[in-house]
Amino acid sequence: MIELTIDGKKIQARKGMTILDVARENNIYIPHLCWDRRLKPYGGCRLCLVEVEGQRKLMAACSTPADNGMVVHTDTPTLRKARKTVLELLLVHHPLDCPICDKAGECALQDLAYKYGPSEGRFYAERKHEPEATSALIDRNPNRCILCGRCVRVCWEHQGVGAINLIGRGFNTKISPAFEETLDCEFCGQCVDACPVGALGAKPYKYRARAWFLESHDSICPYCSVGCTLTLDLREGKILRVRGVDGKGVNQGDLCGKGRFGFDFIYGESRLKTPLVRKNGELKEVSWEEALYYVAERLKAVLKDYGPNSIGAIGSARASLEDNYMLQKFIREVIGTDNIDTSARLGYAWALKGMEETYGIKLNPIKLESPIGKEVVLVLESDLTSTHPIFGLKFLEAKNEGSHLMVVEPRRTKLARRSSEWLRIKPGTGTAYILGLINFAIKEGVHLKKEMEIEGLDELSNAVAEFTPEKVAELTGLDKERFIESARRFINAESRLIALTVGAAENQKGIETVKAAANLLMLLGEGPDALQVPADYSNTYGAWLMGLRPMNGGKDLYTMLYEPGALKALYVMGEDPLVTMPDAGRIEETFKRLELLIVQDIRLSETAKMADVVLPAASWAEKEGTFINAQGIPQPVPKVVSPTGDSIPDWQILRNIARVMEHDLGVIEFSALKEEIAKVAADSGQQRWRLVPVEYDLTEKPDNEYPIVMVTGNIMQHSGALSVMSKSLSHVLSDAFVQVSPEDAERFGVEDGGFIKIASRKGEVFIKARVSDEVPEGMLFVPVHFAHARVNMLTTASPEGRAHLTAVRIEPKG
């Protein structure tokens, strides 16, 4: 601890803090423009100048370390004069177009000029850059730029992208992508929030409202499971933009593209406004009353003819806790069956099952800060910065702080590019790599040093005996020495972490991957905290806790969807299995054989088009609710806008159906529902470590006829059914594509941007090719969530929860 004096106040501070840090901690105001909490000090704007006694010149508070016995003055006539001059110089070439600039009213430069600045400048000059208008989502006006470089640094240092930089010299300096091309980045919009002036702005918000017309509400992001706090800015009941506010929420103000620009899905054109009932083969608009009576009658008929066990329900990983709770209450109490599940079955459920079999725990929430401070961090075949962007950022942060970031991944993802060590394996062989590590660790005898006994060691060492470095090198395509080197580093580290996702859309990982990783960590004496598997979507974790899964031998998702005839009636709430789940052909067949398909959704999805009844539900921000994020933290989601059309919250729909079926669920109000939910106890189980042997085998091996492995997954801008409804996100990416490696493109005669035919053992689809060296030879990567591409017609589901890669062949469309 050191002690210094700021403005006559004695202050204790930690060593290594800058004067600005100390001042901020003690609520002493020092103006600044180029400083950002997340970034290294830059000292570019010279506004944070302070007087330090004993120093001849003024010091920049943001980059001067606080020292013991320092005496600092933050507001003296000299400083005010210096600040005034600095502002005068900044305003030399800053256009005074505040009346049309969207930043006016919340502009740091405007505020400072008002506080310290001159009313008239002595120097005049003009910059004549043309505002850039071609990029999607992010609007750049270089004339307004004060060259503080916050956007550049946040993009490179914090976001790990480096899409923009300062180019040119002197008056001609501006922020631009390389060669002044159109911006082509991940469109996270962090630069927009970082910009203190109006040089960078969000295009969807451009000229829409002045800052003082807006009212702000905090909400939770509906996309991934990180559960970031969004600050919604509304004007007259319409959300105009989303901001991240520094220090707010689990994300501390960071947001990704989906969170920042994807909110407009609630204004999507395909939103349902009235209930629809199929009459003479066509979906017709009907009143709520008619729809509810129709549903009740049909459900009663199925119940009478086939019994409760012929009815099933699929909940939603995106709907709130309350909605999901009500669905399972409805199914269990009114229908009287246990046939209920969510999309978590395809991914996160296997992660939990894997951890239960090994660590003995039933829940393992992640910790966002977990990678920071670990010696080795291993990311296993997961594109974390795309699926969970803010969690992904922590890995970059960990690397910046000195962790060794190992990325085992065939695709050149952002983490792979920014890693310390990138092991480019063949797709789907991440499990083999981990098994190799286990074998290596046993051979090295590392586990013996830990002096602890875990049951199952012999079985495990037998099972992994074949995964010698040679075998692993052959399977994964890595160099043998490279493998051994990486294995040594991982095994001998002081602290370590394995992170992976097991997403519903991903097919290269499964339960065996989780079990292998858990085995390895147990062997090295690491607890479940060292295995970070985040849940998929905003409320996957919550839906799991609410009992949206068969608990007493009911039919699970695989039985309900992939065994035609297993059910007679299906209730689908907020899920689009035909697009987002594998083996869509089979699901379609199942749906055709159903007697009653009820879909309750916010839009007319592909599944809804096949339904007998479609019930419109109010979406996120249109109703109150709660999301539980991957950290297990329940966060309230307030109602900020009015529902679209006649839609009402999901839980109310279910309550109303129950009423029409003359069954009292005992819940009338939202508060009563919340009270009931509060009583649901989460059982996280007791830790009981057990090593379990893991079998490794690719389900579909590439052969001569189908030589390429197709990997499916989510991408940065899109993840499932919501994002494709967003107009803004569709500006960035609206068409389905498949990534083909340059080698394969040459081999099969595929052109960049041309349509190709992908054929698997299940079927074939036509899709646009993008030739990219992001994927290695022999691999295709394809995002699944574009309904028109029907990629899931090619894939298979694996009821054992194993990785289910698809072997395909490609040819240009003739």
DSSP H helical ranges for 477-547: 480-491, 511-523, 540-545
Residues in the chain: 814
Cβ 127 to other proteins shortest distance, Å: 6
- The Cα angle at residue 337 between residues 336 and 341, in degrees rounded to 5: 135
Dihedral over Cα of 710, 711, 716, 722: its sign: positive
x/- letters, 694..733, toward other proteins (CB under 8 A): ----------------------------------------
Cβ 117 to other proteins shortest distance, Å: 14
Cβ 774 to other proteins shortest distance, Å: 33
CA 709 to chain CA centroid, nearest Å: 25
The window from 95-103, 310-318, 532-540, 764-772 that contacts other proteins (CB under 8 A) reads 95-103
Which amino acid is located at 556 in the chain? D
User: In whole angstroms, what is the distance from residue 736 CA to residue 766 CA?
Assistant: 10
User: In whole angstroms, what is the distance from residue 149 CA to residue 127 CA?
Assistant: 18
Contact predicate 17/65, CB 8 Å: yes
User: In whole angstroms, what is the distance from residue 620 CA to residue 353 CA?
Assistant: 30
Nearer to other proteins, 102 or 409 (CB): 102
Cβ 261 to other proteins shortest distance, Å: 16
Residue 526 exposed, middle or buried by CB count within 10 Å (0-12, 13-18, 19+): middle
Cβ 122 to other proteins shortest distance, Å: 10
Nearer to other proteins, 189 or 244 (CB): 189
Closest CA to 427 of 610, 675, 747, 699: 699
The window from 99-107, 505-513, 623-631, 757-765 that contacts other proteins (CB under 8 A) reads 99-107
Structure tokens belonging to residue 148: 């503080």
Cβ 195 to other proteins shortest distance, Å: 16
Nearer to other proteins, 126 or 451 (CB): 126
Contact predicate 13/28, CB 8 Å: no
User: In whole angstroms, what is the distance from residue 223 CA to residue 715 CA?
Assistant: 12
Contact predicate 153/42, CB 8 Å: yes
Cβ 164 to other proteins shortest distance, Å: 20
Nearer to other proteins, 104 or 167 (CB): 104
Q: HSE (CB half, 13 Å, CA atoms) of 69? A: 1
Nearer to other proteins, 29 or 207 (CB): 207
Q: How many residues bind other proteins (CB under 8 A)?
A: 30
User: In whole angstroms, what is the distance from residue 315 CA to residue 781 CA?
Assistant: 28
Nearer to other proteins, 93 or 804 (CB): 93
Nearer to other proteins, 18 or 143 (CB): 143
Cβ 150 to other proteins shortest distance, Å: 21
Q: Which of residues 576-615 bind other proteins (CB under 8 A)?
A: none
Cβ 167 to other proteins shortest distance, Å: 19
Q: Which of residues 187-246 bind other proteins (CB under 8 A)?
A: 206-210, 212-213
Nearer to other proteins, 95 or 636 (CB): 95
Closest CA to 398 of 417, 379, 375: 375
Closest CA to 270 of 619, 605, 573: 605
Q: Which of residues 16-45 bind other proteins (CB under 8 A)?
A: none
Among residues 1, 57, 77, 100, the one that binds other proteins under rule CB under 8 A = 100
Cβ 281 to other proteins shortest distance, Å: 42
Nearer to other proteins, 237 or 814 (CB): 237
User: In whole angstroms, what is the distance from residue 677 CA to residue 326 CA?
Assistant: 10
Strands 49-52 and 59-60: antiparallel
Nearer to other proteins, 105 or 564 (CB): 105
Q: Which of residues 106-165 bind other proteins (CB under 8 A)?
A: 120-121, 124-128, 130-131, 133, 141, 143-144
Structure tokens belonging to residue 690: 């057990």
Cβ 49 to other proteins shortest distance, Å: 24
Nearer to other proteins, 209 or 363 (CB): 209
Among residues 97, 305, 369, 683, the one that binds other proteins under rule CB under 8 A = 97
Residue 98 in the binding site for other proteins (CB under 8 A): yes
> What are all long-range contacts of 564-567, with beta carbons under 8 Å and residues at least 24 apart?
564/589, 564/590, 564/592, 564/593, 565/590, 565/593, 566/312, 566/590, 567/310, 567/311, 567/312, 567/339, 567/594
Residue 669 in the binding site for other proteins (CB under 8 A): no
Cβ 129 to other proteins shortest distance, Å: 10
x/- letters, 54..93, toward other proteins (CB under 8 A): --------------------------------------xx
Cβ 92 to other proteins shortest distance, Å: 7
DSSP codes, 426-488:
PTT-HHHHHHHHHHHHHHHTHHHHT----BTHHHHHHHTTT--HHHHHHHH---HHHHHHHHH
Sheet holding 59-60, edge to edge: 9-13, 2-6, 71-73, 49-52, 59-60
Nearer to other proteins, 141 or 507 (CB): 141
Nearer to other proteins, 105 or 742 (CB): 105
Cβ 694 to other proteins shortest distance, Å: 56
Nearer to other proteins, 93 or 258 (CB): 93
Residue that has been written with the tokens 């539980």 in this structure: 628
Which amino acid is located at 11 in the chain? I
Q: Which residues bind other proteins (CB under 8 A)?
A: 92-100, 104, 120-121, 124-128, 130-131, 133, 141, 143-144, 206-210, 212-213
